[in-house]
Structure 1
């Protein structure tokens, strides 16, 4: 463990023998002449890593992925390059009483990587190093998923990962981390074997099961921004498949029967199958014109296309898809097929876990609701990520990620267009539809909520995100952040 020595501006200015005794370890700004502008102090501390309004690159730096929060503009964005720099910035924030948020990829669904004061942006800490001897990859907390994928594709290794290249690897891992590999490899956080974090006291802590096991437990599923600023992760990798089958199917006929059979087929499939099933909203006007609720299957199968065909045979017997694309590709080439660009957009998502696949009655109710979609310039949908398998082999308290008894992660999602943003009533109607739909999902057995999809409208988010692990997380939080420096709308 390395300690970053620091001395607050207040204690330095107090002078005296104690201050002289630790003068060598005072923070960088103690060496500077008195500055009246705290932002100039930060600029010098960070060696011009600070970008402020009106300066080149600020508009892009301040823009979040979820455009719902595009008007939340900070007074500054600071790009940290080293753990020591993170510690200095945290000390500056405490000395000058400046609130901050932490940003990796900027994909916080609830806008928790946007703020009115300082954004600590980690993207400069994006080094990725693969160790051939142990099969582990060390990933800087500023790396984006796409950068991790590119690096791993050169090594012939794989991990559990998502589809969106612009998601930050740190936020992904801290909240759990889902993807098409999770049923056979576990959650992303399950494969973290070590990590580094800077806590409120300025210490750079090396975490593993042997070193600071409580905090190591907490950062694997305890969500980002709660315990400190994560600076790197070491992840166990597996040999990448030489060939996988990737696929996309869309049905627009017999959708209730198709969806029911599809969930049954996927539920019975081996863990080498990873799927995302979505049902799309259709406005009443389009329904009158004959438009049906579409059912889309997307995913990968670690095996040949013929085996996938056998798995889906009961579904195909009901109705042939309107669209299908099936390819056998090398592993990382297949991920390019499955990738979702993740461009900035207006969206809101509400999630819950299901202990079993939705049955025909639940799907019939869902389809009825989808046929009442009020419409936006984008879409509304009900979609499912297939869980279970290796995820559920761990006990709920083996890591902070407590959701170890589900078969599906379900989400009611809405998005709207730039034109809609100028007409707030459109988004309000869509959100009301979404909230009513979410109530139906919970009544049909939806439990918990996924902490990587933060939902600011949950009133019981502590229990839904963390369940029985909450008390231990709160205890660890009190130990490493006793003054609650790391806080946001849903911080522990």
Structure 2
């Protein structure tokens, strides 16, 4: 045999030995590693796989290597150790509401740890605290806590998972009185990159505790449960709706800008505009009489065509504001759809008349169904915390805007809509809003997201990442990196 032929044979043998493992080999190895997990495991060949990878946003789909339905902290720890050993990505899914599908990794081939079964809620009445499993949805949390006379401030959508929601801040219709969900966290239990369960609080790992409250959505580890400080449920709550003539839109913004921050902290309002529809929904933690009294000046300035006030219990208000998101008493329902969203924070004195006209023109010309939502943020508890006290930096804002576009399913039309939304978002931000956006309305296309989501806290967050996850095991397209460079 010639030397040349021997070399070729050796080369072929080397290539064979070093060949990448097949998908089946990877799946078999992963399945063996995950064998100690007691929860269900769904692999790509399983019949339910195609259904289980569907989350709230159907615009994009990623194909995980496996979905692990953890039933215990030990299941989470085993999953993390397998991901480390096999060098594959890992992510947590709490409610499946990530706008960019980061709950399934933001890419193919990731090990997804679904936390839905980590849904215990343990209330300590004397301490006025609750330990809440990270897989709980907001609807059942509101219900369970209210049965004991308590609440945490959070969002309106009942099917949103508390894990992702509170780790990104968590604003909602009780925010002006109580602040963000993250502001009420007293400690967090998290499985780190080594597979160890650690606690973050003001006393233990305080640097991690800082980071998790605003930037903790999957960047540092897998949160398994959260301890919240509870607030008392008010005896009476008034939900209200103010309807407006779309041609008088500017009057509504005049009221938001001029009167909004002077509304009592017990009242939070959200303005929604779309073609031919302008409406404010709100919640007042008090009687209908006191709500109408508090809104007297606002109503005078904005001139609604119709007003409705509903005095009810706290949980009845939660259900009403859940916008048909409940099935039966407390079970939240998902409504998957294909969408894209942008967000903007507006500081005082608010959106100018040119800004109002700009967004109204956009809503009336884009080919896809689109609405804009303005959540009053200013004049409340969320503004009273320093921007560097937690990772949530957006403390000096007047209101938060969300632009939400529902796609049609027609590829060419949807491309036009997405291009228009992106172009408008860039121009609108430069001309009319602050530089910042809301991390819970995460947008993969956002330029300089590092500073638009985290501002002056970003470099500090990367140092925390370097300390707790130096090998960047927990990563997705917009996770906190190990370096600010």
Q: Does the 8 Å CA contact 2:251/2:303 hold for their aligned counterparts?
A: no
- Residues 1:424 and 2:420 aligned together: no
Aligned to 2:139: 146
Q: Which among 437, 444, 463 is matched to residue 456 of structure 1?
A: 444
Please give the alpha-carbon distance, in whole angstroms, between the structure 1 residues aligned to 2:206 and 2:459: 16
Aligned to 1:489: 477
Query: For 1:87-119, what per-residue CA distance to the aligned partner results, in whole angstroms no more than 9, with x for missing partners?
Result: 111111121122222111010011111242221
- 1:352-367 mapped onto 2 (5 Å cutoff): 352-356=344-348, 357-367=350-360
Q: Does the 8 Å CA contact 1:260/1:363 hold for their aligned counterparts?
A: no
- Residues 1:231 and 2:231 aligned together: no
**Compared CA separation, residues 399 and 89, structure 1 to 2 (3 A):** same
Q: Does the 8 Å CA contact 2:250/2:353 hold for their aligned counterparts?
A: yes
Please give the alpha-carbon distance, in whole angstroms, between the structure 1 residues aligned to 2:388 and 2:298: 37
What is the deviation of 1:362?
2.4
Please give the alpha-carbon distance, in whole angstroms, between the structure 2 residues aligned to 1:148 and 1:264: 35
Aligned to 1:337: 320
Indicate the SS of the match to 2:360.
helix
**Compared CA separation, residues 47 and 303, structure 1 to 2 (3 A):** closer
Moved more, 72-81 or 139-148: 72-81
- Residues 1:435 and 2:426 aligned together: no
Aligned to 2:20: none
What is the deviation of 1:434?
1.9
**Compared CA separation, residues 310 and 450, structure 1 to 2 (3 A):** same
Aligned to 2:367: 375
What is the deviation of 1:453?
1.0
What is the deviation of 1:121?
0.6
Please give the alpha-carbon distance, in whole angstroms, between the structure 2 residues aligned to 1:410 and 1:433: 17
What is the TM-score normalised by the length of structure 2?
Answer: 0.86
- Cα RMSD (Å) of the superposition? 2.0
Aligned to 1:275: 269
- Residues 1:390 and 2:381 aligned together: yes
- 1:151-190 mapped onto 2 (5 Å cutoff): 151-190=144-183
Aligned to 1:65: 56
Please give the alpha-carbon distance, in whole angstroms, between the structure 2 residues aligned to 1:81 and 1:363: 48
Please give the alpha-carbon distance, in whole angstroms, between the structure 2 residues aligned to 1:250 and 1:140: 38
Query: For 1:27-57, what per-residue CA distance to the aligned partner results, in whole angstroms no more than 9, with x for missing partners?
Result: xxxxxxx999213314412135211234354
**Compared CA separation, residues 449 and 307, structure 1 to 2 (3 A):** same
Aligned to 2:90: 100
Indicate the SS of the match to 1:343.
coil
Please give the alpha-carbon distance, in whole angstroms, between the structure 1 residues aligned to 2:252 and 2:455: 34
Aligned to 1:467: 455
Please give the alpha-carbon distance, in whole angstroms, between the structure 2 residues aligned to 1:479 and 1:163: 35
**Compared CA separation, residues 229 and 319, structure 1 to 2 (3 A):** closer
- 1:6-405 mapped onto 2 (5 Å cutoff): 37-47=28-38, 49-69=40-60, 71-115=61-105, 116-117=108-109, 118-252=111-245, 253-280=247-274, 282=275, 292=276, 294-314=277-297, 316-317=299-300, 321-322=304-305, 324-340=307-323, 341=325, 343-356=335-348, 357-372=350-365, 374-376=366-368, 379-388=369-378, 389-405=380-396
Q: Does the 8 Å CA contact 1:352/1:442 hold for their aligned counterparts?
A: no
Indicate the SS of the match to 1:371.
helix
What is the deviation of 1:268?
2.1
Unaligned 5+ segments in structure 1 are 1-33, 283-291
